[in-house]
Amino acid sequence: MTNAVKQVVIVGGGSAGWLTASILAAEHSVSSLQNPIRITLIESSDIPTIGVGEGTWPSMRDTLQQIGISETTFLNECDASFKQGSKFINWRSSTGDSYFHPFSLPESFNQLNLAEHWLPYKNEVPFDQAVCFQDALCNAQLAPKQISTPEYNFIANYGYHLDAGKFAPLLKSHCTEKLGVMHIDDNVQDVRLTSNGDVASVFTEKHGEITGDLFIDCSGLHSLLIDKALKVPFVSCKEVLFNDRALAVQVPYQHPDDNINSATHSTAVDNGWIWDIGLQSRRGIGHVYSSDFCTKEQAFDALSRYVSDTSNCDINKLTVRELQINPGYREKFWHKNVVAIGMSAGFIEPLEASAIALIELSAKFIRDQFPQNRAVMDVIAKRFNKKFHQRWQQIIDFLKLHYVLSERDDSKYWRAATSTETLSQTLRDKLLLWQYQTPYLYDSFETEELFPAASYQYIYYGLKGKTAFNPSQKWHAEHAKAKALFQQNQQKRNQLQQQLEPNRVLLNKIKQYGLTTI
């Protein structure tokens, strides 16, 4: 137990810092443990957070439950709403086409590949409608559960839309009041390294030197530890995903009882795409674009048109924030005794809401593989770096899939975005294979795949990807069962549309009554 790891210092707050602190403290900073660790989080109130309102994956339900936050409390305090997936509009063409990437898997997905059996009917019914019921719930703006459904349980799988500016304070109070995390509000001015290159301590303006055994860099774009202190290089992916700017605005509802979308809306426009996230009190809307193809003024005009078309607001009376994106990630995420989590580790456009998911995954890896001493830390760091390099490549390939299958060629932006020149060999191989067989379980090589094969099916066939129909003996033997599943899905669509209430109605009931705790 020489050089035991007992002191964890997190530099930076926001969603990344406080979510990491919550996940670690819920497991390791408990007074009943024989060898608890001490967690200190340093953040500066002089530095504003970047959060503009974000989407999560369904994994957030497990995270909140594990760290001990009530779902009722979370929904009410974070202006949160239910997210059942994403709706992509005008991505295949500019003529009003749309498709869903829902959070629910196709019917009996792990037992039978319905995509093969949908192929003969592809001109009759869209893929997402044929194999899953959730598009119907999203189109009707329905909730994924009922007031009688206990906290974190569901009828239709869901994550959340949340106000990041309210999420971090909720986590902060939970960490400091219930999980024993020490909070220091101060500015980090310097970093002291040991002879072997580890971080020994950080020097703060008011609290002086703070030592630690393991440091977690959640300082966002400042990257105080992983970049400025340890000089870990940054790997750009701008040649693949070249969006590097965003304009974001908060748009009020026309009426307090306006319904709330059940999915993130992503609308492709001439030089990028626009996100539309419905919270309880407002919508978060933003235009993601590339400065190589579009000026800030052009992006503002496109955003203004969208806001005008979808609300009664004059964007000139609202506050529009400009965000800069440097698409890419660190060459190493865990170097020496420093782990980068959040934007200090990397960032790319928020097309599939991967940012918070990566924070969750990073913190849970550290929680589950927590180094007992410095001697084993490098082994765990190697594993962490290998796993998260794979995950970043998976995300980049998956986001690129949304572009490369598009038929849009109405601007220089889209002609560049749909180019196949920068595809990874992995994605290139998949696209070749999918011309002859549907995406399915054999496409997954890693444990804990970020995006299951079902996600590739939803995107590939949502964008009208083509697969040759060549039925085998197995296909014929299973087709009767597949037809029964198609029918079962249709019955479920009809049933749930009758049973479930609109998002706004359920969220109002939760405010009044709360959800049943498990």
Cα–Cα dist 247/251, whole Å? 13
Contacts of 418 (CB under 8 A, 6+ apart): 403, 404, 405, 406, 407, 408, 409
pLDDT band at 2 (very low <50, low <70, confident <90, very high): low
Residue 422 Rama label (left phi>0; alpha psi -120 to 50; beta): alpha
pLDDT of 33 > 80? The answer is: no
pLDDT of 292 > 70? The answer is: yes
Q: Roughly what angle, to the nearest 10 degrees, separates helices 59-67 and 354-368?
A: 50
pLDDT band at 52 (very low <50, low <70, confident <90, very high): low
pLDDT of 32 > 50? The answer is: yes
User: 402 is written with which tokens?
Assistant: 């949304």
Summarised one tens digit per residue, pLDDT across range 303-345 is 999 999 999 899 999 999 999 999 999 999 999 999 999 999 9
User: 63 is written with which tokens?
Assistant: 């995270």
Average pLDDT (13-31) is 93
Residue whose tokens read 């009376």 = 317
Q: What is the 3-state secondary structure (H, E, C) of 314-360?
A: CHHHCCEEEEECCCEEECCCEECCEEECHHHCEECCCCCCHHHHHHH
Question: What is the overall mean pLDDT for the chain?
Answer: 95
Average pLDDT (367-396) is 96
DSSP helix, strand, coil percent of the chain (3-state; round to 5): 40, 20, 40
CA distances for 411 relative to 94, 267, 270, angstroms: 11, 16, 6
The ranges assigned to domains in the chain are 7-49+163-234+328-394
Q: Which of 482, 496, 492, 402 is nearest to 109 (CA)?
A: 482
Contacts of 80 (CB under 8 A, 6+ apart): 74, 160, 161, 162, 163, 167, 279, 280
Q: Which residue has the higher pLDDT, 518 or 13?
A: 13
In contact, 82 and 102? CB cutoff 8 Å: no
pLDDT of 34 > 90? The answer is: no
pLDDT band at 53 (very low <50, low <70, confident <90, very high): low
7-49+163-234+328-394: in CATH 3.50.50.60:
yes
* Phi, psi of 326, rounded to the nearest 5 degrees: -110, 90
Task: Identify the pLDDT of residue 115.
Answer: 98
In contact, 60 and 159? CB cutoff 8 Å: yes
Concatenated DSSP letters of 18-60: HHHHHHHHHHH--TTSSS--EEEEEE-TTS------EE--THH
Share of the chain above pLDDT 90, in %: 93
Summarised one tens digit per residue, pLDDT across range 177-205 is 999 999 999 999 999 999 999 999 999 99
Burial grade of 506 (CB within 10 A; 0-12, 13-18, 19 or more):
buried
Summarised one tens digit per residue, pLDDT across range 397-453 is 999 999 999 999 999 999 999 999 999 999 999 999 999 999 999 988 777 788 999
Q: Among positive and negative, which fits the CA dihedral 263, 267, 268, 271?
A: negative
pLDDT band at 1 (very low <50, low <70, confident <90, very high): very low
Summarised one tens digit per residue, pLDDT across range 127-148 is 999 999 999 999 999 999 999 9
Concatenated DSSP letters of 259-278: ---SSEEEEEETTEEEEEEE
